[in-house]
Amino acid sequence: MKNKYLFILIFVLVFPLLVNADATIPTKDVPGSQDPPFLKRFEGSLIVAYKHKSFAKFTFPLSPLKPTGEEENDIEFYAPEKARILEGEYTRIAYLIPQGHGPLEVVKNYENHLRELGGRVLYTCEGRGCGGHPNHASWVWYGKISLGYFLEDMNSVASYNKKFSTGYCALASSNIKDQQYMVVNLPDKKSTVSVLSYILGDDSGCTAIKDRTVVVVDVLKSKPMGQKMVVVKAEKMASEIDTQGSVALYGIYFDTGKTEIKPESKPTLEQIAKLLRTRPSLKLLVVGHTDNQGTFDYNMDLSKRRAHAVVKALVSGYGINASRLKPVGVGYACPRASNRTPEGRAKNRRVELVESTGL
């Protein structure tokens, strides 16, 4: 373990010296970026990194990060005991602030502006009080993550910012100070906004913006996802069960953290019922799957309760014999894609029908 961390240390310190420093002082916003429609920017700041998703899930911490006791690839998992987990239209913007303005001034200006819009502050923290490593942005060191990393890990940052570009340096710095954070709810805008600000330290490859203040704004506008999945017909379900032993369904919908089946799930439930009626000897495991947002035990329980809800709907609403169905919850134990991206997590949230002869 120690040799592995020594290698990481040498790599982090030496590799940037082997490449040309790409970070520069910006003169205009990055192409394709824009401010959120209702939110002003700090005077004189420029956008150095920008990401927009028409639909995504985002977690806003509402308490300090604490170790969960779980690890993966030598990285300790940290999570807040309280959080606001939302789905909807998501925007992330990193601004480089003009010289002479610090994180506290920046965050207080955002707070005043958001209050003018009817916002209510849900949570604030600074430095070590935020939990995790207080001197890193979206970076991990010796397995201990930071608040910036919890919001967006450095691999995700690198997916839309060239390594050692100004945007990458602003978001993924391994050396920051004076961290300030705030989460604000805007009921009139159906939005939640978080503001993370810090001063960049001395990172090799990023020296052009050393000592500059960065502010990272995350905006989630709550809205339902447009249902674009084609309903899987009973005949298609039967074919996949015959050839693969199971079929994955994405047409059964739940609100985040809930077990009540949403009305738009009716077409898929009708097709499952049709499958069972046309094949009277077929018995199925109804398996609930989740993404990895939240603890393992939480997701195991949630997935099982959702599977129970599907079985109950088929029995009470469509007259299917309960002896032919068995609800099973596996949480995030059987992913179909990486849980590191919103797209991957969406693919992992599903219900599967698995042929069973042992019921």
Q: What is the pLDDT of residue 311?
A: 97
Domains defined along the chain, listed by start: 19-222 (no CATH), 234-355 (3.30.1330.60)
Quick one: how far is CA 303 from the chain centroid?
A: 18
Q: What is the pLDDT of residue 172?
A: 93
Average pLDDT, the chain: 90
Would the pLDDT of 182 be above 60?
yes
Predicted confidence band at 227 (pLDDT cuts at 50, 70, 90)?
Answer: low
Would the pLDDT of 139 be above 90?
no
Higher pLDDT, 10 or 59: 59
Would the pLDDT of 11 be above 70?
no
Instruction: Enumerate residues 6+ apart whose C-beta is below 8 A from 249.
Output: 232, 237, 268, 272, 350, 351, 352, 353
What are the respective helix, strand and coil percentages of the chain, to the nearest 5? Answer: 35, 30, 35
The answer for 301, left when phi > 0, alpha when psi is -120 to 50, beta otherwise, is alpha
Q: What is the pLDDT of residue 274?
A: 97
Question: Encoding tokens for residue 67?
Answer: 């170790």
Spatial separation of the C-alpha atoms in residues 347 and 298, rounded to whole Å: 19
Q: What is the pLDDT of residue 228?
A: 55
Q: What is the pLDDT of residue 229?
A: 56
Distances (CA, A) of 261 to 58, 106, 223, 253, 305: 22, 43, 17, 6, 11
Mean pLDDT on 254-262: 90
Spatial separation of the C-alpha atoms in residues 354 and 43, rounded to whole Å: 57
Spatial separation of the C-alpha atoms in residues 150 and 187, rounded to whole Å: 25
Would the pLDDT of 69 be above 90?
no
Q: Parallel, antiparallel, or unpaired for β 350-355 and 284-289? A: antiparallel
Predicted confidence band at 225 (pLDDT cuts at 50, 70, 90)?
Answer: low
Spatial separation of the C-alpha atoms in residues 59 and 354, rounded to whole Å: 32
